[in-house]
Amino acid sequence: MNVLLLTSHSIAEYDDLRMLTDLGYDTFSIGAYTDPSSPSDDKRPALDVPYYADLAALCETQRQTYGDPGPNIDWAKARLHPDIIDWADVIICHHFPERWLVPQWEQIRRKRVIWRTCGQSAPDGSLEAIMRHLHGLEIVRYSPKERSLPMFAGETALIRFGKYPDDYPVWRGTDAVVGNVTQHMAQRGDACGFRFWMEATQGLATRPAGPGSEVLRGGIGSLTYDAMLDYLRDVRTYLYTGTTPASYTLGLMEAMFVGTPIVSIGAQSFGLPNLFEGADITFDAQDDPDEARRSLALYLESPNDTVAGMQRYRANALFGMDTIGPQWTALLG
């Protein structure tokens, strides 16, 4: 079975290309991993999976033909080459389905097309309202919380994001600091829980990481993949502040797989209580920044192996490949 993957998030692309190939599907991804041995984004390593040079060349043809992509982001996805459509048995789209699926629906609707949700649905239901009119579209939800969205477009299956547990080191908490891995928290403000972070970590030792973290107290900036794994292993605790409007994020999953003890922003403080799942899947969630600070202070004072073990167990149960892989196999056949 030939699977075409459309995504604009290199980490999600890495995860799904690796997983689908391991499950036995011939998978071609238009994105950072079009050439899996030489990805255009270094957030994750290269992949030893097949490279479809002929399909990659067709992508370049589309980009050269249509020029500046503008809001379509990439013409290779927004106007799929007819030969790529012919090759694909299944098309799985993560991002921008209103730009990559809707305008070319007549060309692709005879294929099996899956919208794999990833936290992009607007809380007002506007994207759901668009997608519900694509008759024959399959929708794989990443969180049950999306069922609360206005104009809910339906659900073919609920399959959470998946990762390989053996990729992650076991937490040891040698650095008595509060960690967080995000992108441009200060610059994006409350969309990434900036005010909550500032209030909840006041007076505590902090070491946030990720692009833009340099402007935060103790921030260390971007990390390589290996350095990020070491970071999650070593920080004593982790304050998860969410990313609006996602129910949960890949960064939260990775901290859970390591076992880093997590304090999560509460669903009310996140601002979208019906959508937010971070408070449900972690073991310590606080709406009051003062209460969150007290929880963090307790973790800083004493490493908690019990919570770390519980966190790893829950990550494996919810997101581990032994759970997620069979669900995709059951769906795709």
Residue 50 is encoded by which pair of tokens? 């097949």
What is the reported pTM? 0.95
Burial annotation 41-51 (CB, 10 A radius, 16+ → b, else e):
eebbeebebeb
Residue 133: inside a domain: yes
Rounded to whole angstroms, how far apart are CA atoms 196 and 287? 9
| Judgement on whether residues 153 and 169 belong to the same structural domain of the protein | no
| Judgement on whether residues 138 and 214 belong to the same structural domain of the protein | no
User: What residues does 175 pair with on adjacent strands?
Assistant: 235
Query: What is the structure's pLDDT at 245?
Result: 95
Q: Which of 104, 129, 158 is the last residue of a domain?
A: 158
Residue 102: inside a domain: yes
Residue 101: inside a domain: yes
Residue 206: inside a domain: yes
Angle between helices 250-258 and 10-22 (to 10 degrees): 60
- Give the pLDDT confidence of 9-62 residue by residue, as tens digits: 999 999 999 999 999 999 999 999 999 999 999 999 999 999 999 999 999 999
Query: What is the structure's pLDDT at 191?
Result: 94
Question: Can you say whether the dihedral through the CA atoms of 186, 192, 193, 197 is positive or negative?
Answer: negative
Q: DSSP states of 94-163 as a string?
A: -S-HHHHTGGGHHHHTTSEEEEE--S-S-TTSHHHHHHTTSTT-EEEES-GGGGGSTT----SEE----B
| Judgement on whether residues 169 and 204 belong to the same structural domain of the protein | yes
Q: Which domain holds residue 247?
A: 165-319
Residue 227: inside a domain: yes
| Judgement on whether residues 293 and 308 belong to the same structural domain of the protein | yes
| Judgement on whether residues 169 and 209 belong to the same structural domain of the protein | yes
Angle between helices 225-234 and 250-258 (to 10 degrees): 60
Residue 113: inside a domain: yes
Residue 84: inside a domain: yes
Residue 242 is encoded by which pair of tokens? 């969410």
| Judgement on whether residues 199 and 246 belong to the same structural domain of the protein | yes
Q: What is the CATH number of the domain that holds 173?
A: 3.40.50.2000
| Judgement on whether residues 147 and 208 belong to the same structural domain of the protein | no
- Give the pLDDT confidence of 167-177 residue by residue, as tens digits: 999 999 999 99
| Judgement on whether residues 98 and 214 belong to the same structural domain of the protein | no
Q: Could you tell me which residues come within 8 angstroms of residue 330 by beta carbon, excluding any fewer than 6 positions away?
A: none
Residue 325: inside a domain: no
Strands (E), 133-241: 138-141, 157-158, 175-181, 206-209, 235-240
Query: What is the structure's pLDDT at 206?
Result: 98
What is the average pLDDT across 106-128?
Answer: 96
What is the average pLDDT across 102-120?
Answer: 97
| Residue 136 pLDDT class (50, 70, 90 cuts) | very high
Query: What is the structure's pLDDT at 124?
Result: 96
Q: What is the CATH number of the domain that holds 72?
A: 3.40.50.11930
| Judgement on whether residues 123 and 14 belong to the same structural domain of the protein | yes
Residue 79 is encoded by which pair of tokens? 């106007």
| Judgement on whether residues 211 and 229 belong to the same structural domain of the protein | yes
Query: What is the structure's pLDDT at 196?
Result: 98
Query: What is the structure's pLDDT at 251?
Result: 95
| Judgement on whether residues 81 and 37 belong to the same structural domain of the protein | yes
| Judgement on whether residues 183 and 258 belong to the same structural domain of the protein | yes
Q: Which of 140, 158, 176 is the last residue of a domain?
A: 158
- Give the pLDDT confidence of 54-90 residue by residue, as tens digits: 999 999 999 999 999 988 899 999 999 999 999 999 9
Helix (H), strand (E) at residue 28: strand 26-30
Rounded to whole angstroms, how far apart are CA atoms 269 and 300? 23
Query: What is the structure's pLDDT at 203?
Result: 98
Q: Could you tell me which residues come within 8 angstroms of residue 165 by beta carbon, excluding any fewer than 6 positions away?
A: 257, 312, 315, 316, 320, 321
How many domains does the structure of the chain reveal?
2
Q: Which of 128, 158, 188 is the last residue of a domain?
A: 158
Burial annotation 118-146 (CB, 10 A radius, 16+ → b, else e):
bbbbeeebebbeebeebeebbbbbbbebb
Contact by Cβ (8 Å): 116, 6: no
Q: Could you tell me which residues come within 8 angstroms of residue 27 by beta carbon, excluding any fewer than 6 positions away?
A: 2, 3, 4, 5, 16, 17, 20, 21, 49
User: What residues does 113 pair with on adjacent strands?
Assistant: 91
